[in-house]
Structure 1
């Protein structure tokens, strides 16, 4: 058996319980089971009220993904993976219930593996744990999850290497150098946002190393960050991503009730106006009239979908930001060239920067993940702006 049998009494009060549909391991059919989540384990029973559990998963070292990437068109499915790589697939009655179960399981995993929790930040960074992890899980700019084959029988799925993690933190400017990035990553492991993976009989150290062979997983990977802000009603063909949790999308109206529609979304870093700190924000570009909204994470906290701010784009200027003396040239459209602007940035190694200066001469500075993404954002901002100035 892949999961042990157990009596119902584990000596602790259940954290959460209810019916879920579970995929079988042998016959691979889907059967309804009564699930009980404890502080250290997830048990399931053939019938509600049974004393003997049909199976129990010890949560130490586990990771949970919601929704399950293999079942994006099947509503409510999420996946729990044990420290040994065994997978348990479950389906809730709807996406909201799925997210509730995934969050509860993720919180239980973190509480077991957490060495020290500091919700206010990591290694002196201005970025909070939750915000950093949300940015790391962004579908476009975040860490890319991969499968790593260790030997002929062992494949570690949905993971990333220590080297990839350090590269990402330095690329996005969350750390000034690789040494600072190592400290930041180790704090995330200590707070159990990231789980070291066992390879054979060896466990990747909780002290993160800049090593492509050291593998890690998110304790809770919420793919809801991949849901589209832009409505899918304009397309007759639904892709996998368009079917994800439409009930929890960001609002279809702007902060001030403007008309128009969302034309682009994604994560970028935004420089603060006062302290000039850089924070990951989710941006949504609207047209008619053109303006840019930004949010704290994949969605506003506490059920409040209000953005943190709104940038008016009518009559704005969009510039490439140059942090050194090297000449920068290029074009967004064949008939629209960049202008290049020099801006003082504390970390001269920051790349892929651009600025938006409003009609009232207020300048915002952003960092994209690549030159291509920077150009896409500039092009998208320029296009609705041109439409509204003709």
Structure 2
């Protein structure tokens, strides 16, 4: 039987010869991973067998790169992949681990039920817990805090984390809550925001989350910022970067000058309403550009002017800014295109 496709999408992959990082279209099947230079290519650049492979996540081999995972084959070859954000990495890791387990057991791939026992800290799936914590309705509420002549935005206190874990039945007492929250901190799901929490996180071999009202933390991929701070870690950011992240991921974008198409990482923020786009292989220090969304129009399109049909076709959409600048983008699937259009429409109306 032909191997069935489990997951596919854009990931940044480290080269095995030149050690450079490049965006690849990656396809996970039940027996291996294939990666392509472009989504439209018929022949892969390479294939990684999953039989006997081991997965390492999170991978801490690269200090300046986050959301990296490592796949090691039986031939002692290491392959490094980088996702655009935390949830994306966890979805890839979960499916790859399941595929490896199924191969070892001689079974066809089938996703396990996500229902887990989480009464004890040892049995908690941290990535699933993190998603619950970020839920806008039932999760931890982000807030603005003024402390030591600094304004922290999109953050929360350590004791709020413990209160939430207890109220949701994830732990039985505050001691278990600290243990579980410390696990979230060590895995990078939570980050320390102020001097007290940073000191505790850097005080020993293992970070510790403080169950205190004056210890501040934030979600790893939130819109956290701090005014009045001058350290290297918390610089004052521009106004347009202060919004909370609504959606992020890779899309194909048409250039304005050469009209060529390249994969870019897009981050959509809500207040102020902006999309910033980056080279996904180089990180997020310097965006390549930004799209102001306030008052924009976003629609699905069937084709793009000045684009060759064989270069790009399907799942296209267009953003027209209030200044009448046109941006043409392509999603990997029709579902993803619909999601982007929906969130852009909402932010364009509600964002500032």
Fold equivalence (TM over 0.5)? no
More contact order relative to length (CA 8 Å, sep ≥ 6): 1
Q: Smaller-chain TM-score range? A: 0.3 to 0.5
Q: TM-score, normalised by structure 1?
A: 0.40
Radius of gyration: which is bigger?
1
TM-score by length of 2: 0.44
